[in-house]
Amino acid sequence: MDFLAIFNQDFFYTAIRMAAPIILAAVGEVMLERAGIFNLGIEGGILFGAFLGVLGSYLFQTPWMGLVLAILGGVVLGFVFGWATISLGANQAVTGTGINILFLGLTSLLARMIWGVRDVPLTVPAFQDISIPLLSDIPVLGPVFFRHSLLVYVSYLMVLVASFVLYKTTWGLKIRAIGEYPKAADTMGIHVIAWKYGMSVFGNVCACVSGVILSICFMNCFVDNISAGRGYMAVACVILGQWSPVGALLGGLIFGAGNALQMRLQIYNVPIPTSILLVIPMVLALVMVLLVRGKASARPAALSKPYEK
Amino acid sequence: MNDYIRMEHITKRFPGVTASADVSIGFAKGEIHALLGENGAGKSTLMNMLYGLLKPDEGVITIDGAPVRISGPQDAIAHGIGMVHQHFMLIPKFTVMENVILGAKLEREPLLDTRSARQKILDLSQRTGLKVDPDARIHDLSVGDQQRVEIIKVLYKGVNVLIMDEPTAVLTPQETDELFAVLRNWIKDGNTVIFITHKMREVLEFCDRVSVLRDGHFIETAQVSDIDEERLARMMVGRDVELQLQKPPAKAGATVLEVDGLTVRADGGIPAVDNVSFTVRAGETVGIAGVDGNGQLELIEAIMGLTPAASGDIRFKGSSIAHSTPKEILEQGVSNIPFSRQTEGLVLNFSVRDNFILKERWHKPYAKHGFLQNKVIDSTVRKMIQDYSIKANGPETRAGNMSGGNQQKIVASREIERPHDLLIACHPTHGLDIGAIEFIHKRILQERADGKAVLLVSTEMDELLALSDRILVLFKGQIMGEAPATAKAVQQIGLMMLGKSAADAPA
């Protein structure tokens, strides 16, 4: 077998596609961490969003209502997480872990309560891939880049939007200031608490929409633990990418490639047990986090410290 | 003088304490007005009310005769009142310009278009003489530079009243002179500076009028030209204060501490202490001057055995302690009043008693066969509380609940009363009021008279002059030179603090 044959057009298409949900969640986390809040609960947010996406699509028979429901869920989750970590000053990592454990159990439970215990999950209407006219006809590049689902495009677009906001607007300056030295921001008349809530909502909405990509773009159903560690990968991407949206994009692409590789190796029947192949993206995460360890100069100085006047 | 801003009958109560009690005070255009008082006199509280950070319980503020409501810093700035805080409110990773425009209105909001802002900063810098580079990052700037940025940041908002909370605490004498030259120039256009301080010398040297607060009460506003230091001190403390302590000539004996070519590396590998040599003899006090962060901390930690020396030697009474453990060094007779009483000197959650025996807990008579002798400890601590007039209800009082002055007295009493030949005192009166400073200073002078060797690390010129016999100046880990502890040497010491060697800085 020619090993290089694995890296064909399909591989790159899959890499781009698999990277999208991680990138979207990571961009949300970048903004949140730049405002000084460390959200380890993205994994839970993705699960919640994935579940709500299927629920909305099931109830209204259109994936759009799934998206709407997931966004609303993200807003609520953002306020709840914000209330705990910003207003009450709870430990952010512990709160995030709590959210992860809660939603892993809750989404599985609710799925069984609503749709019953099934051998094959219930399917619902899903978002279809959109071929962008003209661009998608370009040889090689077209099929790799321009035949994705709407929310995949949105994920990549969000990198540009976040970069622009963070570095080219006064809003971004305020957000960065809050993550570095909230008291200084406060004395300059910036509403620290309001901005932190805003970023908590933004980050959690991103996580929930990331879940929607998994459940009703890539699939058309909800399965237990559908997120499969992508939330943690997103957290790793933020560190890898040194708290910049573009850095998170690069990190996400590496994970996407790892995922694509793992899937292709399965298809090619490589004599390696599947369970080991599934570990590839996680090992990548570990190696990369170790590589940038100690170079954390871009880390917001006030990250994960609750702000008290 | 006609007052431009007046605060009338201002009262502010906090649980258990009245921070401002019916204070009426006024500030005029074109003056530098000092607000003088001890810690806890209510200076900052009063100014925080003017700046909108606190709301007065009673009283009114008028500007140009008209009552105004100031319910937040935004309101204050809208009325032309700005404040430079004691702790810099600058973001180290940001550039000067980013810090200045943070929260300010830009022309093409929300776009971060900085062209006109940059021009405005350069214009301000030109007009006021506050030299700043808009593109420099704050963490690359000296403390003096950072303060200029703080002032520019406030002036950028178009204020005509500038409140400065203890701005000179971190500056060298030269930087202080420069700062006041700039402020003098700025008030010529009819602007006002309100200068919060507890240093009388700066009031007399630089200010037009002075208002004194004590225990939340307004005492008096006076023309600086009509007043002297003794009267100011009396107004501030409410009793006569011994300003000039008697320092008899040193009777220096045998060498106690000998630091020889000591180099200490900081985390990044760069030398924080660079080939430093000096000696301290019994019965003399050696002062270490310098702006904070020039290697003082590393030097003392090396002597105390808390940081390893990269090279060089430290000898105590003739034998090397460079590789001894902190406990061995303490046991040999080194006492240390550390830089921070709250994080190094005391365990705040412990009682006065437990703090007092921290370094002696394994010694007779405080411990026998590994058991604490509480009766003995209690009676010793009670005596200590009395001797050092520490305001505590008893040995069980929690250290964290006490005032800074009383906390420092606990540390000082512990270090002075344990057996020792060398006392290291680091910023011994930092943040204390005149009464407490007088007390600690007397004790340190007594140490010297008792034939102990004293190593004093301080950033306060007055303190160095009052206590030391000779003064060494640290700059970037190196000793720039030595000067006698006389008023004449102040200029020279100041230049050395800025990195000029003794040769370049003639006395």
What does the block give as tokens for B424? Answer: 């290291």
> Are B111 and A172 a contacting pair at CB < 8 A?
no
What does the block give as tokens for B499? Answer: 């990195």
- State the Cα–Cα distance between residues A91 and B502, nearest whole angstrom: 52
Q: What is the mean pLDDT of residues B228-247?
A: 83
- State the Cα–Cα distance between residues A174 and A171, nearest whole angstrom: 5
Based on the fold, state whether residues B386 and B433 are members of the same structural domain. Answer: no
Identify any residues that bridge with B17 across adjacent strands, giving them in sequence order. B14
> Are A188 and B77 a contacting pair at CB < 8 A?
no
Q: What is the mean pLDDT of residues B370-374?
A: 89
Identify any residues that bridge with B313 across adjacent strands, giving them in sequence order. B260
- State the Cα–Cα distance between residues B102 and A176, nearest whole angstrom: 10
Q: Does the structure show a pLDDT above 80 at A292?
A: no
Based on the fold, state whether residues B210 and B65 are members of the same structural domain. Answer: yes
Based on the fold, state whether residues B64 and B48 are members of the same structural domain. Answer: yes
Confidence of residue B506 (pLDDT cuts 50, 70, 90): low
The residue whose two tokens read 């962060």 is B293
Nearest CA in chain B to A192: B103
Phi and psi at A13, nearest 5°, equal -60, -45
**CB distance from A122 to chain B under 8 Å?**
no
Confidence of residue B108 (pLDDT cuts 50, 70, 90): confident
Amino acid letter for position A298: A
Chain B nearest C-alpha distance from A241 (Å): 18
Based on the fold, state whether residues B31 and B114 are members of the same structural domain. Answer: yes
- A136-152 confidence digits (pLDDT tens): 888 888 888 888 999 99
- Asked if residues A13 and A143 have their Cβ atoms less than 8 Å apart, the reply is yes
Chain A nearest C-alpha distance from B211 (Å): 26
Find the domain containing B157 and state its range: 3-237
Q: Does the structure show a pLDDT above 90 at B68?
A: yes
Based on the fold, state whether residues B303 and B197 are members of the same structural domain. Answer: no
Q: Which of residues 28-67 of A touch B (CB under 8 A)?
A: none
Q: Does the structure show a pLDDT above 80 at A5?
A: no
Q: Does the structure show a pLDDT above 90 at A174?
A: yes
- Using only C-alpha atoms, chain A has a radius of gyration, in whole angstroms, of 19
Based on the fold, state whether residues B412 and B425 are members of the same structural domain. Answer: no
Q: Does the structure show a pLDDT above 70 at B111?
A: yes
Q: What is the pLDDT of residue B367?
A: 87
Q: Does the structure show a pLDDT above 80 at B16?
A: no
Burial class from Cβ neighbours inside 10 Å (0-12, 13-18, 19+) for residue B62 reads middle
CA dihedral A206, A208, A213, A214 (to 10 degrees): 130
**Domain CATH for B179:** 3.40.50.300
Pick from A282, A203, A279: which is nearest to A41 by CA?
Answer: A203
Report which of residues A138 and B244 the model is more confident about: A138
Q: CA B128: distance to chain centroid?
A: 27
Pick from B169, B146, B130: which is nearest to B92 by CA?
Answer: B146
Contacts of B72 in chain A (CB under 8 A): 189
> Are B72 and A177 a contacting pair at CB < 8 A?
no
What is the tally of structural domains in chain B? 3
Q: What is the pLDDT of residue A296?
A: 56
Q: Which of A164, A165, A166, A170 to mutate to test the interface with B (most CBs of B within 10 A)?
A: A170
Q: Does the structure show a pLDDT above 90 at A290?
A: no
Alpha helical stretches, state H, A169-301: 170-180, 182-187, 192-216, 230-240, 245-267, 274-277, 280-292
Ordered by start, the domain boundaries in chain A are 21-229
- A66-99 confidence digits (pLDDT tens): 999 999 999 999 999 999 999 999 999 999 999 9
Element (H, E) at A113: helix A92-115
Chain B nearest C-alpha distance from A114 (Å): 46
Percent over 90 (pLDDT), chain B: 58
Q: What is the mean pLDDT of chain B?
A: 90
Contacts of A188 in chain B (CB under 8 A): 89, 102-104
Q: What is the pLDDT of residue A293?
A: 65
Percent over 70 (pLDDT), chain A: 97
Q: Does the structure show a pLDDT above 60 at A1?
A: no
Q: Does the structure show a pLDDT above 70 at A57?
A: yes
Element (H, E) at B457: strand B453-457
Nearest CA in chain A to B75: A189
In sequence order, what are the residues at sequence separation of 6 or more whose Cβ sits closer than 8 angstroms to the Cβ of residue B341? B404, B407, B408, B411
The residue whose two tokens read 């999208």 is A20
Closest partner residue to B85 among A170, A185, A187, by Cβ? A187
Contacts of B149 in chain A (CB under 8 A): none
SS3 of residue B132 by DSSP: coil
Q: What is the pLDDT of residue B1?
A: 58
Based on the fold, state whether residues B184 and B312 are members of the same structural domain. Answer: no
Q: What is the mean pLDDT of residues B35-52?
A: 88
Chain B nearest C-alpha distance from A252 (Å): 26
Chain A nearest C-alpha distance from B72 (Å): 9
Quickly count: other Cβ atoms within 10 Å of residue B261's Cβ.
12
pTM listed for this prediction = 0.79
Nearest CA in chain B to A298: B93
Structural domain ending residue among the three candidates B237, B271, B300? B237
Using DSSP bridges, classify how beta strands B209-214 and B32-36 pair: parallel, antiparallel or unpaired. parallel
Nearest CA in chain B to A167: B112
> Are A173 and B72 a contacting pair at CB < 8 A?
no
- Asked if residues B283 and B250 have their Cβ atoms less than 8 Å apart, the reply is yes
In sequence order, what are the residues at sequence separation of 6 or more whose Cβ sits closer than 8 angstroms to the Cβ of residue A70? A48, A49, A50, A52, A53, A56, A208, A209, A211, A212
What does the block give as tokens for B344? Answer: 């190094």
Based on the fold, state whether residues B323 and B431 are members of the same structural domain. Answer: yes
- State the Cα–Cα distance between residues A112 and B19, nearest whole angstrom: 62
Q: What is the mean pLDDT of residues A278-307?
A: 80
Pick from A48, A84, A53: which is nearest to A67 by CA?
Answer: A53
Q: What is the pLDDT of residue B7?
A: 96
Closest partner residue to B103 among A167, A183, A188, by Cβ? A188
Nearest CA in chain A to B99: A177
- Using only C-alpha atoms, chain B has a radius of gyration, in whole angstroms, of 25
What does the block give as tokens for B51? Answer: 């700046």
- State the Cα–Cα distance between residues B274 and B294, nearest whole angstrom: 10
Based on the fold, state whether residues B443 and B403 are members of the same structural domain. Answer: no
Q: What is the pLDDT of residue B204?
A: 92
Percent over 70 (pLDDT), chain B: 98
> Number of residue pairs across A and B with CB atoms under 8 Å?
58
Burial class from Cβ neighbours inside 10 Å (0-12, 13-18, 19+) for residue B10 reads buried
Q: What is the pLDDT of residue A226?
A: 95
Pick from A140, A130, A138, A146: which is nearest to A16 by CA?
Answer: A146
In sequence order, what are the residues at sequence separation of 6 or more whose Cβ sits closer than 8 angstroms to the Cβ of residue B480? B473, B474, B496, B497, B499, B500, B501, B502, B505
Using DSSP bridges, classify how beta strands B81-84 and B66-68 pair: parallel, antiparallel or unpaired. unpaired
- State the Cα–Cα distance between residues B116 and B419, nearest whole angstrom: 65
Structural domain ending residue among the three candidates B418, B442, B473? B418
Structural domain ending residue among the three candidates B186, B219, B237? B237
Q: Which of residues 282-301 of A touch B (CB under 8 A)?
A: 301
What does the block give as tokens for B80? Answer: 């032309």
Q: Which of residues 172-211 of A touch B (CB under 8 A)?
A: 172-174, 176-177, 180-181, 183-185, 187-190
**DSSP state letters, A14-26:** HHHHHHHHHHHHH
Nearest CA in chain A to B51: A187
Element (H, E) at B3: strand B3-14
Pick from B143, B161, B153: which is nearest to B102 by CA?
Answer: B153
Contacts of B94 in chain A (CB under 8 A): 176-177, 180
Closest partner residue to A173 among B73, B89, B112, by Cβ? B112
Closest partner residue to B89 among A176, A187, A301, by Cβ? A187
> Are B74 and A181 a contacting pair at CB < 8 A?
no
Q: What is the pLDDT of residue A65?
A: 97
Q: What is the pLDDT of residue B304?
A: 95
Based on the fold, state whether residues B383 and B435 are members of the same structural domain. Answer: no
Q: Does the structure show a pLDDT above 70 at A295?
A: no
What does the block give as tokens for A28? Answer: 């949300």
Q: What is the mean pLDDT of residues B166-171?
A: 80
- State the Cα–Cα distance between residues B406 and B439, nearest whole angstrom: 11
In sequence order, what are the residues at sequence separation of 6 or more whose Cβ sits closer than 8 angstroms to the Cβ of residue B145? B132, B136
SS3 string, B332-373, reads HHEEEECCCHHHHHCCCCCEHHHHHCCCCCCCCCCEECCEEC
The DSSP call for residue B159 is -
> Are B91 and A167 a contacting pair at CB < 8 A?
no
Q: What is the pLDDT of residue B388?
A: 86
Confidence of residue B9 (pLDDT cuts 50, 70, 90): very high
In sequence order, what are the residues at sequence separation of 6 or more whose Cβ sits closer than 8 angstroms to the Cβ of residue A208? A45, A46, A48, A49, A52, A70, A71, A73, A74, A77
Burial class from Cβ neighbours inside 10 Å (0-12, 13-18, 19+) for residue A274 reads exposed
Q: CA angle, corner A122, sides to A116 and A125, nearest 5?
A: 140
Contacts of A173 in chain B (CB under 8 A): 98, 101-102, 112
Q: Which of B97, B112, B156 to mutate to test the interface with A (most CBs of A within 10 A)?
A: B112
Based on the fold, state whether residues B426 and B413 are members of the same structural domain. Answer: no
SS3 of residue B423 by DSSP: strand
Contacts of B89 in chain A (CB under 8 A): 181, 183-184, 187-188
Element (H, E) at B119: helix B115-128
- B260-307 confidence digits (pLDDT tens): 999 999 776 788 999 999 999 999 999 999 988 899 999 999 999 999
- State the Cα–Cα distance between residues B154 and B83, nearest whole angstrom: 7
Contacts of B77 in chain A (CB under 8 A): 189
Q: What is the pLDDT of residue B230?
A: 86
Q: What is the pLDDT of residue B196?
A: 93
> Are A184 and B89 a contacting pair at CB < 8 A?
yes
Based on the fold, state whether residues B46 and B128 are members of the same structural domain. Answer: yes
Alpha helical stretches, state H, A35-91: 42-60, 63-82
Element (H, E) at B379: helix B374-387
Contacts of B103 in chain A (CB under 8 A): 174, 185, 188-190
> Are B91 and A180 a contacting pair at CB < 8 A?
yes
